[in-house]
C-alpha cells in the first residue's frame, strides 16, 4: 500500500464527482439531524453502499490504474493461477466443482480463475455481489477476458438457499464490511460516532451499547487495562452473523478468505493506538474517513482470530491460516515462476514485478493473510503446507 499522503498534494476530484459526494453527505447529514450522531458502522455503510451514491454502489472506477487501488487478481494471472491449483485440489477432495465468489469487484478474479481451470473448471461459478454497478462491470470483464466461460457464471442476490458442496472465495471482502469504532477514555470505553461539525463530518463519542461492550471485552480481555487512554480501534460485532449467512447452505467444502489483517494479539497492540481504518483515493492511503464521502474507499483490517472464532461457532474448522506469500508458494508459485524462463525478457520482467508485489513482506506478501474455514474436509490443503500460523490466532 502506498504511504500516507498529506491533504495538500491530493488530487482534487472533478466537480461532477464532488457533487455526487455532496449529495451523499446531504443524506448522511439528514440522518444525523434526525437521529443524532451516527455509529461509525452506519456512516461506513452509507459511505460505501448507499444506493446510487456510495463508493461501491455509484458508477465510479475504483479498481486498477485509473481507480483508487489495485487488488491481487488485477496485477496479472499469477494470483488466480495459484488459487486455481488450490481449487483443483479441493474439487478432487470434495468430488464437487462449484465455486461461490463473494464480492467480485471488477470480475478479474472470476475471469482469471475460470481461464486457469479451463475445461476442468467448475460446474457452476456463482457471484454474490451487493453492488448492482459492479455486477455489470463483472459481466463486461468476463465477456472480455473469459468469453468461453461466461455462460457458467450466475449472479446471486442472496447466498444459495439449497445445500451445496464446493468452495467459497472472498478476496478483500471482509475489509469492506462496516465496522464499529471504540475508544478508551477517562470514563471507560466509549463508542466512536460521526457528527456534523458544520464544516464536514467529525468524530464524537457516545455510550458503548451493551452488545459492543461485551464484544470488545471478549476480544481484548485482560489486554484492555494495558491500553493507553485515547486508544481507538475497530470491531465487527456482526462478523459471525454475516459468516453464518454466507456459509449456512455450504454442506461440505471450504471458504477461503484473503485479506489484510492480523491475528487478534497483533490487532490490538497498545502501540496501534489509532486502529486500522484505512481509506484509498487515487492510489493514496489516507486516514481520514470523512473526506469526500462516497469518493474514497474505507476499510478496516481483519481480526483473523475473530474470523476463526466465528467459524468455530458455526461448526467450521479453521483448516489453515498463513500469509499470502506462503499460501501462493504452497499453491505452486515456484513452478509458475520456473516456466517463466521460456518467456520473452520483457514478459519475464513484468512477471517478476507481479510476483514481488504479491509476495514481498513490504508489499502484499505478509500484510495479506489467508484463512480456510472448512466443513467436512479431512485432507490438508496445499496452500497451507509451507507455513502454518494457526498457533498465532
Ligand atoms: C475491495 S472489493 C474486492 C474486489 C475483488 N474481490 C478483488 O479481489 O478485486 C470489495 C467487494 O466486495 C463487495 N461486497 C462488500 N460487501 C459485500 C457483501 N456483504 N456481500 C457481497 N459483496 C460484498 C463490494 O461490492 C466489492 O465488489
DSSP string, 14-34: PHHHHHHHHHHHHHHHHHHHH
SS3 content of the chain, % helix, strand, coil (to 5): 40, 25, 35
C-alpha distances in Å from residue 109, one per residue of 39, 42, 55, 74: 33, 29, 20, 7
Q: Is 57 in the pocket of ligand 1 (CB under 6 A)?
A: no
- Cα Rg of the chain (Å, integer): 21
C-alpha distances in Å from residue 367, one per residue of 26, 171, 181, 259, 391: 36, 13, 21, 8, 18
Q: Is 73 in the pocket of ligand 1 (CB under 6 A)?
A: yes
Distance between Cα 364 and ligand 1 center (Å): 18
Measured from the Cβ of residue 49, the count of other Cβ atoms closer than 10 Å reads 16
Single out the residue of 151, 76, 156, 59 nearest to residue 116, CA to CA.
Answer: 76
Distance between Cα 68 and ligand 1 center (Å): 14
Task: Return the pLDDT at 65.
Answer: 74
Task: Return the pLDDT at 4.
Answer: 41
Single out the residue of 324, 177, 148, 171 nearest to residue 236, CA to CA.
Answer: 177
In angstroms, the CA 244 to CA 234 distance is 21
Measured from the Cβ of residue 32, the count of other Cβ atoms closer than 10 Å reads 19
Q: 15: which 3 cell numbers?
A: 466537480
In angstroms, the CA 67 to CA 19 distance is 18
Helix (H, G, I), strand (E, B) or coil at 184: strand
Distance between Cα 185 and ligand 1 center (Å): 34
Using DSSP, how many helices (H) and how many strands (E) does the chain show?
Answer: 12, 16
Q: Which of 57, 64, 103, 285 to mutate to test the pocket of ligand 1 (most atoms within 8 A of CB)?
A: 103
Counting Cα atoms < 13 Å in the Cβ hemisphere of 132 gives 6
Task: Return the pLDDT at 10.
Answer: 78
Task: Return the pLDDT at 245.
Answer: 98
Residue bearing the CA closest to ligand 1, atom 4: 105
Q: Which of 69, 73, 82, 130 to mutate to test the pocket of ligand 1 (most atoms within 8 A of CB)?
A: 130
Q: Is 302 in the pocket of ligand 1 (CB under 6 A)?
A: no
Task: Return the pLDDT at 345.
Answer: 92
Distance between Cα 56 and ligand 1 center (Å): 8
Helix (H, G, I), strand (E, B) or coil at 145: helix
Helix (H, G, I), strand (E, B) or coil at 282: coil
Task: Return the pLDDT at 195.
Answer: 98
Task: Return the pLDDT at 123.
Answer: 86
Single out the residue of 72, 75, 393 nearest to residue 259, CA to CA.
Answer: 72
> What angle separates helix 108-117 from helix 78-94, to the nearest 10 degrees?
60
- Cα angle 189, 39, 237 (rounded to 5 degrees) comes to 70
**Which ranges of the chain have pLDDT less than 70?**
1-8
What secondary structure letter does DSSP report for 364?
Answer: T
Q: Is 134 in the pocket of ligand 1 (CB under 6 A)?
A: yes
Single out the residue of 15, 369, 22, 390 nearest to residue 200, CA to CA.
Answer: 22
Single out the residue of 320, 307, 299, 225 nearest to residue 263, CA to CA.
Answer: 307
Per the CB < 8 A criterion, the answer to whether 233 and 272 are in contact is: yes
Q: Which of 51, 99, 173 to mutate to test the pocket of ligand 1 (most atoms within 8 A of CB)?
A: 173
In angstroms, the CA 259 to CA 301 distance is 8
38-39/153-156 β-pairing: unpaired
Distance between Cα 227 and ligand 1 center (Å): 32
Q: 214: which 3 cell numbers?
A: 461485551
In angstroms, the CA 336 to CA 326 distance is 14
Single out the residue of 181, 160, 130 nearest to residue 287, CA to CA.
Answer: 181
Q: Is 103 in the pocket of ligand 1 (CB under 6 A)?
A: yes
Nearest ligand 1 atom to the CA of 258 is 8
Largest CA distance in the chain: 65
Task: Return the pLDDT at 187.
Answer: 84
Q: 61: which 3 cell numbers?
A: 472506477
Torsions phi, psi for 109 (to 5 deg): -65, -45
Q: 26: which 3 cell numbers?
A: 446531504
Amino acid at each position: 500500500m502506498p504511504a500516507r499522503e498529506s491533504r495538500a498534494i491530493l488530487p482534487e476530484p472533478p466537480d461532477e464527482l464532488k457533487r455526487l459526494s455532496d449529495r451523499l453527505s446531504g443524506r448522511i447529514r439528514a440522518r444525523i439531524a434526525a437521529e443524532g450522531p451516527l455509529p461509525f458502522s452506519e456512516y461506513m455503510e452509507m459511505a460505501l453502499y448507499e444506493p446510487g451514491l456510495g463508493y461501491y454502489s455509484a458508477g465510479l472506477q475504483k479498481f486498477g490504474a485509473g481507480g483508487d487501488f489495485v487488488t491481487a487478481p488485477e496485477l496479472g494471472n499469477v494470483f488466480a493461477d495459484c488459487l486455481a491449483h488450490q481449487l483443483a485440489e479441493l474439487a478432487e477432495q470434495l468430488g464437487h466443482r462449484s465455486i461461490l465468489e463473494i464480492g467480485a469487484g471488477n470480475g478479474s478474479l472470476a475471469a482469471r480463475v475460470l481461464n486457469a481451470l479451463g475445461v476442468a473448471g467448475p460446474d457452476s461459478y456463482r457471484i454474490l455481489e451487493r453492488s448492482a454497478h459492479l455486477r455489470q462491470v463483472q459481466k463486461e470483464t468476463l465477456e472480455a477476458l473469459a468469453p468461453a466461460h461466461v455462460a457458467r457464471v450466475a449472479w446471486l442476490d442472496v447466498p444459495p438457499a439449497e445445500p451445496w458442496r464446493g468452495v467459497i472465495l472472498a478476496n478483500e471482502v471482509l475489509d469492506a464490511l462496516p465496522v464499529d469504532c471504540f475508544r478508551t477514555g477517562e470514563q471507560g470505553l466509549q463508542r466512536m460516532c460521526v457528527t456534523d461539525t458544520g464544516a464536514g463530518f467529525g468524530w464524537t463519542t457516545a455510550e458503548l451499547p451493551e452488545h459492543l461492550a461485551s464484544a470488545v471485552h471478549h476480544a481484548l480481555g485482560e489486554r484492555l487495562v494495558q491500553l493507553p487512554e485515547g486508544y481507538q480501534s475497530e470491531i465487527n460485532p456482526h462478523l459471525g452473523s454475516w459468516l453464518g449467512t454466507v456459509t449456512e447452505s455450504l454442506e461440505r467444502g471450504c471458504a477461503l478468505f484473503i485479506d489484510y489483517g492480523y491475528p487478534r494479539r497483533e490487532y490490538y497492540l497498545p502501540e496501534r493506538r489509532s486502529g486500522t481504518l484505512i481509506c484509498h483515493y487515487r492510489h493514496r492511503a489516507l486516514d481520514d474517513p470523512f473526506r469526500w464521502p462516497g469518493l474514497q474507499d474505507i476499510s478496516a483490517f481483519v481480526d483473523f482470530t475473530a474470523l476463526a472464532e466465528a467459524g468455530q461457532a458455526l461448526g467450521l474448522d479453521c483448516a489453515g491460516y498463513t500469509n499470502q506469500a506462503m499460501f501462493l508458494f504452497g499453491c505452486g508459485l515456484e513452478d509458475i515462476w520456473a516456466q517463466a524462463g521460456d518467456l520473452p525478457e520483457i514478459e519475464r520482467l513484468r512477471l517478476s514485478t507481479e510476483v514481488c508485489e504479491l509476495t514481498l513482506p513490504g508489499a502484499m506478501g505478509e500484510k495479506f493473510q489467508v484463512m480456510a474455514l472448512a466443513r467436512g474436509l479431512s485432507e490438508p490443503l496445499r496452500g497451507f503446507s509451507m507455513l502454518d500460523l494457526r498457533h498465532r490466532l
